[in-house]
Structure 1
């Protein structure tokens, strides 16, 4: 898995998201996503923020949020979603499919994970049935270090997450099965709609 491979996957993921978002109805842009409190437009405002905001401005926003990243991200996403139309948000993503942004300490693989996760926040909540290509999904899972998993604070005690479409599992205990992309969302603390997971402990991670 080379840097070039990862950057190509980032560009492909963003390009596919552009195509999908372009088909959404106005009411779908205002539909809730798996990100608590965020509609589709807030999620897109968040994923495109690095393309519109300089590192210096981001630092200012972080200071204004008392150094709390999640608070900053929420405040900026809500503000930008209110200021920008869906067409403007979509154009920003379209114009930056090859943008070299990397999250601090995350590298290109962190950028891919960021885009994949938030894309799933949209498509799973809307029931669009989009499947992330297996090779791209494998890249994201390969980049899951313990510190990444710990960041989300999800209680995975006593549970084995086992993918039904890839040779991948995580943890130990009662098995919860699902598509790799759905298990990724579980790790990220998302509550999935019914029918995405199987196993005795599946209800711990569903709505």
Structure 2
């Protein structure tokens, strides 16, 4: 699949998903620590809404910390935008050429897919990202990328049960390809998504 086509389709799918959320779910937590659905949605469109000079100015304000900058912008923009506007930002910019710095066009697809899963998996929605999109991202996984995202997958062999794909060596950990993609991006998943002796290592704590 052409990656730009995949990106546009993913953004439109996510806009439809966001448009369908009831109001209370916009304030529900996601797999992104400290961010609700509305902060993740705001963050996903930052690259479309901020010019390069504005982005650099925000980075200076954050004293050079990209994490501090993105967190501040997500919280401010989420507070200033309605759910309808946040969904529209994605739909209206489905074909925007934005790419994360140094990550290339695959990084743009990964940004959309993973943040979309941050929302849908945390909410318990049965959304399946088309496997051709997930396959593109799994092919780009390297030890360097897992280190960048803080994914501790040492001693583990990840095995997809819906794709002919595996990664690493060690104790088997099985799950849907999109769930394993989240693991590789440093996320922890709700219990029950992964199967294997080390499943708890990659799971969130059960709700009290």
TM range (shorter): over 0.9
TM-score by length of 1: 0.95
Which moved further from structure 2: 82-91 or 20-29?
82-91
Mapped to 2, the partners of 1:75 and 1:147 lie a distance apart of 27
Deviation at 1:146, TM superposition (A): 3.0
Mapped to 2, the partners of 1:72 and 1:169 lie a distance apart of 35
Q: How does 1:143-158 map to 2 (within 5 A)?
A: 143-158=140-155
Q: Which residue pairs with 2:41 in the alignment?
A: 44
Mapped to 1, the partners of 2:118 and 2:71 lie a distance apart of 15
Mapped to 2, the partners of 1:189 and 1:102 lie a distance apart of 20
Asked if 1:171 is matched to 2:129, the reply is no
Match of 2:71 among 74, 89, 110: 74
Q: Which runs of 4+ in 1 moved over 6 A?
A: none
Q: How does 1:1-207 map to 2 (within 5 A)?
A: 5-207=2-204
Question: Would the aligned equivalents of 2:146 and 2:186 in 1 still touch at CA under 8 Å?
Answer: no
Mapped to 2, the partners of 1:195 and 1:129 lie a distance apart of 14
Deviation at 1:195, TM superposition (A): 0.9
User: Superposition RMSD on alpha carbons, in Å?
Assistant: 1.1
Deviation at 1:139, TM superposition (A): 0.6
Mapped to 2, the partners of 1:66 and 1:161 lie a distance apart of 38
Aligned residues: 204
Mapped to 2, the partners of 1:182 and 1:120 lie a distance apart of 9
TM-score by length of 2: 0.95
Deviation at 1:143, TM superposition (A): 2.0
Deviation at 1:144, TM superposition (A): 2.2
Deviations 1:40-64 (A, max 9, x none): 1000100000111001111111122
Mapped to 2, the partners of 1:79 and 1:147 lie a distance apart of 32
